[in-house]
A = this chain, B = another copy of it.
Amino acid sequence: MRQSRLFGKTEKTDRPDVTLTSHKLLTKGGFIRESVSGRYFLLPLGMRVANKITDIIREEMNSAGAQEMISPTLHPLELWQETNRDNAGNFGLMLVTDRRGARFALGGTAEEMFVDVARKFQLSYKDLPFNIYQFSTKFRDELRARGGLLRVREFVMKDAYSFDVDATAFHSTYQTMAQVYDRCYTRMGLSAKQVLADNGYIGGEYCHEYIVDCSAGESRYLETADGSYCAHEDVATVGLVPMNSEEPLEDMEVITQPQWVKSMADNIKHYGEPEWRYLKNVVYKKIDTGDLVIVTIRGDLEVNKTKLEKVLGAIELLEEATSDDLARLGVKPGYVQAWGHTATYVADLSLKTVRNFIGGQKTDTTDTRNVNYGRDFAHPIEADVALAQPGHVSPDGHLLHERRGVEVGNIFQLGTHYSSAMAGATFMAKDGSLQPYYMGCYGIGIGRTLATIVEIYNDEKGIVWPESVAPFKVHVVALNTDDQALRDWADGIYENLLSRGIDVLYDDRDVRAGEKFADSDLIGIPYRVVVSKKSKESGLFEVVSRSSGETHYLGEDDLINRLTS
């Protein structure tokens, strides 16, 4: 490709509204342009990278036996109604009605569509397993888009759906897909960690995100030093150890307490005991019904709303209660009682690790002490709803560290979540009975993966593409092009490389050398070959590796050998 003909131009100055590295470099380098917030054009350079990422994924999926197909983008709304996902506004489903009054969802994910196509066939156990996937545009009506391709409202995703006869068979499919993901990311130069995560809106019992550590990421997870435990904050379990099991159980008693003791800090000041010694009550409100939920938790821990919602069986169900909501309980903030209110009470498992809590029935002038969970009060729901933090330990007792990264893919166990909800989504089992398929689904966002590669592979001059996904392999930079003979000679070198099947961007533009080198560094093609008066005279071409900066001087034949090897 001649750079003079390339659509899309580099920019010299930073845009003030662009802060993320990948957004900045992809925009300046002429890989992407914003249409409106959260919606992007991939320009030809960006498209070349996206196509290489797509090809890698397609190759790896196919070699694992997955089969590419495509579903319509507009999903009949009836299908989403079958699984009760049609009203999940928080997922950002977009709806459209056609001229004949038919209603559709713009595909945000395609579980229903793939189950629907599967149930069009009379399948038997002999037809399973199969794994079908597509590359298609997905829509999410995000309230907040981030800069660049990291969180957008429209993106191309590879989404795969597997169909197995049972959990055992599925387990092997899931492992196969995990291996496919490892190979894909490795080929793209990404070190993506498999992190236990929350199924959320997708449903099912467990899933894993693939996270590439980087500061631009929005995914926070907890990991032990040796990687023995690695989980997203939405699911990470706080390893619980008894705090004071040596203490004898004391009798609960009401004690007077000065009126100034309100907050946790006041407690510590007044009693001189550590945070874990106090009972804490956190109140949430169910968004749909207004009902209140009180979580009682050990004083040193916070509630993780996502974990709590999962316990209560709904996504995006809760919001923090306001003082108005507390007024309905008859209390002011700070005076919520650990038992006695009309509300749904949830006990975090941490309550079982402390003997003789302080707190629980606070008034203006009194509180209770030596309160013991199970003896003095107990809640109908006991669950792990604590937010894991660095410094906590994992369930296997190792110290947790906080990590942050970009989720570049995910794999979900779905079980029979969809196939049970949708009529006729069955296969004939060996015994002749009709059974729902045991499913999984597997996503990779192409644009986000592309941006993540840039977040990892860059330096102060620009992008440093791994060769596997680079828009071109070689950047031929012609200098002294005001000399027609030299220009013709440079054209010849370019044509020669092209004819050898080498993937070349040829900077044949009429701009000064400094600008060409700066653009070349910014665009980040793996090898730069300078074609100049000097190279014509010496017969040697300067070849610079973008990643190592290493420079070699090679004759034309050696150059071709090097670039075709």
- Give chain A's interface residues, CB within 8 Å of chain B: 1, 4-9, 33, 35-36, 39-44, 46-48, 50-51, 65, 67-76, 89, 92, 94-96, 98-100, 102, 106, 113, 116-118, 120-121, 126, 130, 132, 136-137, 139, 141, 143, 153-154, 156, 510
Please state if A71 and B41 are interface contacts (CB–CB under 8 Å). yes
- For the complex with contacts A47-B70, A100-B143, 13 further pairs of A-B residues with Cβ separation under 8 Å are A4-B126, A9-B121, A35-B71, A35-B75, A35-B76, A39-B74, A43-B117, A46-B69, A48-B68, A73-B139, A94-B98, A106-B106, A136-B137
Question: Which 8 pairs between the two chains have the least Cβ-Cβ distance?
Answer: A44-B67, A39-B72, A96-B96, A47-B69, A42-B70, A7-B130, A35-B72, A41-B117
Which of B40, B46, B73 is close to A137, meaning CB atoms less than 8 Å apart?
Answer: B73
Q: Which residues from B are CB-within-8-Å of A143?
A: 99-100
Please state if A70 and B41 are interface contacts (CB–CB under 8 Å). yes
Which of B8, B95, B121 is close to A8, meaning CB atoms less than 8 Å apart?
Answer: B121
Q: From known contacts A35-B116, A76-B36, A130-B5, infer whether A68 and B47 are also in contact, taking CB-CB under 8 Å.
A: yes
Complex CA gap A402/B117 in Å reads: 41
A263 → B minimal CB distance (Å): 37
* Main SS at interface, chain A: mixed
Q: From known contacts A96-B94, A96-B96, A98-B141, infer whether A7 and B72 are also in contact, taking CB-CB under 8 Å.
A: no
A506 → B minimal CB distance (Å): 13
Q: Which residues from B are CB-within-8-Å of A106?
A: 96, 106
Q: Which residues from B are CB-within-8-Å of A42?
A: 69-70
Q: Which residues from B are CB-within-8-Å of A139?
A: 73-74
Complex CA gap A342/B35 in Å reads: 49
Q: From known contacts A4-B126, A7-B130, A132-B44, infer whether A102 and B68 are also in contact, taking CB-CB under 8 Å.
A: no
Which of B1, B40, B48 is close to A72, meaning CB atoms less than 8 Å apart?
Answer: B40
* Centre residue among A36, A118, A132 by max chain B CB count within 10 A: A36
Q: Which residues from B are CB-within-8-Å of A71?
A: 35, 41
Please state if B132 and A72 are interface contacts (CB–CB under 8 Å). no
Residue contacts A-B, CB under 8 angstroms, 20 given: A4-B126, A8-B121, A33-B117, A35-B75, A35-B117, A36-B102, A41-B70, A41-B117, A42-B69, A46-B69, A47-B67, A47-B68, A47-B69, A47-B70, A74-B139, A74-B154, A95-B96, A96-B106, A106-B106, A136-B137
A14 → B minimal CB distance (Å): 17
Q: Which residues from B are CB-within-8-Å of A65?
A: 5
Please state if A113 and B35 are interface contacts (CB–CB under 8 Å). yes
Complex CA gap A391/B377 in Å reads: 97
Query: From A6, which residue of chain B is reached at the shortest CB distance?
Result: B67
A494 → B minimal CB distance (Å): 14
Complex CA gap A113/B40 in Å reads: 11
Query: From A95, which residue of chain B is reached at the shortest CB distance?
Result: B96
Q: Which residues from B are CB-within-8-Å of A99?
A: 89, 92, 141, 143
A99 → B minimal CB distance (Å): 5
Q: From known contacts A7-B130, A132-B44, A143-B99, infer whether A68 and B94 are also in contact, taking CB-CB under 8 Å.
A: no
Query: From A510, which residue of chain B is reached at the shortest CB distance?
Result: B126
A501 → B minimal CB distance (Å): 14
Q: Which residues from B are CB-within-8-Å of A68?
A: 44, 47-48, 51
Q: Which residues from B are CB-within-8-Å of A137?
A: 73, 136-137
A142 → B minimal CB distance (Å): 9
Complex CA gap A95/B104 in Å reads: 12
Q: Which residues from B are CB-within-8-Å of A117?
A: 33, 35, 41, 43
A143 → B minimal CB distance (Å): 6
* Centre residue among A6, A40, A102 by max chain B CB count within 10 A: A102
A204 → B minimal CB distance (Å): 21
Complex CA gap A102/B39 in Å reads: 12
Q: Which residues from B are CB-within-8-Å of A510?
A: 126
Q: Which residues from B are CB-within-8-Å of A67?
A: 1, 6-7, 44, 47
Complex CA gap A36/B136 in Å reads: 18
A88 → B minimal CB distance (Å): 13
Q: Which residues from B are CB-within-8-Å of A5?
A: 65, 130
Please state if B70 and A73 are interface contacts (CB–CB under 8 Å). no
Query: From A143, which residue of chain B is reached at the shortest CB distance?
Result: B99
